[in-house]
Amino acid sequence: MQDFFTFNGTPSTDKNIILKDYSPIFLPATDYNYIEIPGRDGSVRKGSGARRDVLIRCEVAMIGTTQDIYDVNAWLSNRGGLSFWDMPDKYYIGELYEEIPMLDMEEWKEFDLYFRCHPIKYGADVNTSLSGSTLILNSGTYETFPVIETMLVTAETTLEFTHTNTGEKITMSGSYGIGDVIVVDFENEEITQNGNPVNDDLHLDSDFFKLAPGENTIVSSVDATIHFTERWL
């Protein structure tokens, strides 16, 4: 079996490109800086600890014509999901970031692709129901952001979603009728009612929370659905 990578849902072998080798990333670097202070043992660490983008070099070979190359250029010109044959259940989000020189041979064209990717890998999409107090399992190794959606079967004036592990919660007050669709997007910190923004309904003590790796207990004042994508270092 030939090695390959998949970009935006298309395996490289579908474009007559074989992955000869690539540089997998064991752990993304952090943005810490270390400052040496004269007369002091050790160093002082500064920075937030946020993860830096990962840079992945792919050595590839291609069989094809000039027209095939133009097709590949169009395929790789946008930002998208990037996965490899040896980790099919996880993917990065990234894009090409360097000029691509090419060694032109009689039958093969060999070149390197350099992808700059978000440091966290994405895995399975999870959808599950919320009813009262619900245990949610995040099987990833990194925190992730949920989306909670509900279509109301009764009229409500207050809606609340609480992460009992942390005490963080979303509380909103307004006029919510039967059949209204409420969507709470925790990553973008946006709430909509039938597609219209209603962030002004939020109580001042509300917090948009994350799901930690492992078990999370969410209490919902109404039946709803929670969606999230597992994330991995």
Q: What is the pLDDT of residues 14-59, one digit of tens each?
A: 988 899 999 888 888 888 888 888 888 888 888 777 888 999 999 9
- Cβ–Cβ < 8 Å for 12, 21: no
The pLDDT, as a whole number, for residue 150 is 98
Q: How many domains does the chain have?
A: 2
- Are 90 and 20 in the same domain? yes
| The pLDDT of residue 63 | 78
Q: Are residues 110 and 131 in the same domain?
A: no
- Give residue-wise pLDDT tens across range 63-111: 766 667 778 888 998 999 999 988 889 999 999 987 666 555 545 578 8
User: Which of 83, 98, 119 is the endpoint of a domain?
Assistant: 119
In this structure, are 10 and 115 located in the same domain?
A: yes
Let me know whether 17 and 104 are in one domain. yes
Instruction: Give residue-wise pLDDT tens across range 152-189.
Output: 999 999 999 999 999 999 999 999 999 999 999 999 99
Distance CA 51, CA 120 (A): 8
Where b means 16+ CB within 10 Å and e means fewer, 13-52 reads bebbbbbeebeeeeebeeeeeeeeeeeeeeeeeeeeeebe
> Residue 94 sits in which domain range?
5-119
Instruction: Point out the domain boundary residue: 82, 104, 119.
Output: 119
- Based on the number of CB atoms within 10 Å of its own CB, is 188 exposed (0-12), middle (13-18) or buried (19 or more)? exposed
Per-residue model confidence (pLDDT) at position 99? 67
| Residue finishing a domain among 77, 92, 119 | 119
Whether residue 60 is found in the same domain as residue 83: yes
